[in-house]
Chain A
């Protein structure tokens, strides 16, 4: 049995701890050790973006990071977007504008869009397209997602 290392992270505001091998990917740690299966495993080499989370407030791929590297970090996953039983404005906009079908890419899309809107609260359509090009969607053809992110940008500015 390989050596197990302790990993302490704050996920969605909650302090969590687990023990895993050094080679365990952060996304697998979230899903298997912490039971947070909202973050999806897609390509496992940093291309598809389904596993995107916020790492210390910035979007990053959790499939090309080791869990041990996250020790001490603050993470935000899709489970942490809702507040007080209400959907996040981005989630609301995705529902309203048909920004998802199968839902596989959605967690990654949401966290990527959140980072995009924090760094650029008033993106142009071209900037939204560029921003979400970090995540692959194989159902909706992106159109609804773009509309949703634009709507969320407006909603977040007025809220």
Chain B
């Protein structure tokens, strides 16, 4: 179908965009890459009074290193992230996750800020943000605030961002050099949203595991951090039996729903299988 009518604004500055959001008092939608919002408009599932298009604000697209973090402007395209040498070096897990986001023509337009603000629980970026303990910067009429990943995702497609706020920056701690990482995902077809995905990071010290980070996509209304499974690895190391135990624990930590794509039981099973695969592959990548 075709989109319903809306007022269209393409402000040249963030200040102007924020003023527009206030003016429409919650009836406007922010248009970033449009790879989720435009289909919703075409289906007429979303009928906002206005669109505030951020694509004419070039200052919202950048990748910088600051204070041990990578800081990515909200309008940084997924395609830019995929080919960024800085991301490849400092956040290889984000780069790997990016290749799972739709297809290249989708990543041409899709943005990191849009993907995270859209908060699809099956999407890869929210899982990576959760695993790596990232945060986002939100700008609103009263200034800026930083929101940690664990405080950002409320439920399906819903974040703690207010209607008059704009997600302007994503901050993710740079991964320790030599860290192992992997994103494992199962989807019906390549490029589809995950039925289940697992993002993993491990920092090795010989056979010991100094740090483990695990988070899921597709196992509930928000990404799930698998802290109790991480603790098994941090306590018992990276032996086959520890990985088995962590994977088993992972499947117990999620409470997925059944839907048309998969049953809750199957998603729980996948969580264990994919956790094991992600950890094994992360082991292969890790140095130290």
Interface, chain A (partner B; CB < 8 A): 2, 5, 21-25, 28, 44-46, 49, 52, 55, 58-61, 63-66, 68-69, 112, 115-116, 119, 130-131, 133-134
Contact partner of A22 (CB less than 8 A), chosen from B6, B42, B105, is B6
Smallest beta-carbon distance B99→chain A, Å: 9
Contact with A along B91-114 (1 / 0, CB 8 A): 000000000001111101100000
CA distance A5 to B6 in the complex (A): 13
Counting chain B CB atoms within 10 Å of each CB, which of A24, A52, A61 scores highest? Answer: A61
B2 with A46: CB separation less than 8 A: no
B34 with A55: CB separation less than 8 A: no
Smallest beta-carbon distance A118→chain B, Å: 11
User: Which A residues touch B103, using CB under 8 A?
Assistant: 49, 131, 133-134
A52 with B105: CB separation less than 8 A: yes
Are A44 and B1 also in contact (CB < 8 A) when A60-B109, A61-B105 are? yes
User: Which B residues touch A46, using CB under 8 A?
Assistant: 35, 38-39, 102, 106
A sample of 25 cross-chain residue pairs with beta-carbon separation below 8 angstroms, ordered by A number, consists of: A22-B8, A23-B2, A23-B3, A23-B5, A25-B42, A46-B102, A55-B108, A61-B35, A61-B106, A63-B38, A64-B39, A64-B42, A65-B38, A65-B109, A66-B34, A66-B53, A68-B8, A68-B10, A116-B104, A119-B83, A131-B103, A131-B104, A133-B103, A134-B105, A134-B191
Q: Does B64 make an interface contact (CB < 8 A)?
A: no
Q: Does B287 make an interface contact (CB < 8 A)?
A: no
A63 with B104: CB separation less than 8 A: no
User: Which B residues touch A59, using CB under 8 A?
Assistant: 104-105, 108
**DSSP majority for the A interface?**
mixed
Within 8 A of A (CB), among B18-69: 34-35, 38-39, 41-43, 51, 53, 55
CA distance A46 to B191 in the complex (A): 12
A58 with B79: CB separation less than 8 A: yes
Q: Does B261 make an interface contact (CB < 8 A)?
A: no
Q: How large is the interface on B (under 10, 10 to 19, 20 to 34, 35 or more residues)?
A: 20 to 34
User: Which B residues touch A63, using CB under 8 A?
Assistant: 38, 42
Q: Does B178 make an interface contact (CB < 8 A)?
A: no
Counting chain B CB atoms within 10 Å of each CB, which of A25, A46, A52, A63 scores highest? Answer: A46
Q: Does B207 make an interface contact (CB < 8 A)?
A: no
**DSSP majority for the B interface?**
loop
B105 with A5: CB separation less than 8 A: no
Smallest beta-carbon distance B181→chain A, Å: 20
* The 9 A-B residue pairs with the shortest CB-CB distance in the complex, in nearest-first order: A134-B103, A22-B8, A64-B38, A45-B39, A59-B105, A23-B3, A58-B108, A60-B108, A133-B190
A64 with B34: CB separation less than 8 A: yes
Within 8 A of A (CB), among B143-195: 189-191
User: Which B residues touch A61, using CB under 8 A?
Assistant: 35, 105-106, 109
Q: Does B284 make an interface contact (CB < 8 A)?
A: no
Smallest beta-carbon distance A78→chain B, Å: 14
CA distance A81 to B189 in the complex (A): 30
CA distance A88 to B181 in the complex (A): 41
Q: Does B4 make an interface contact (CB < 8 A)?
A: yes
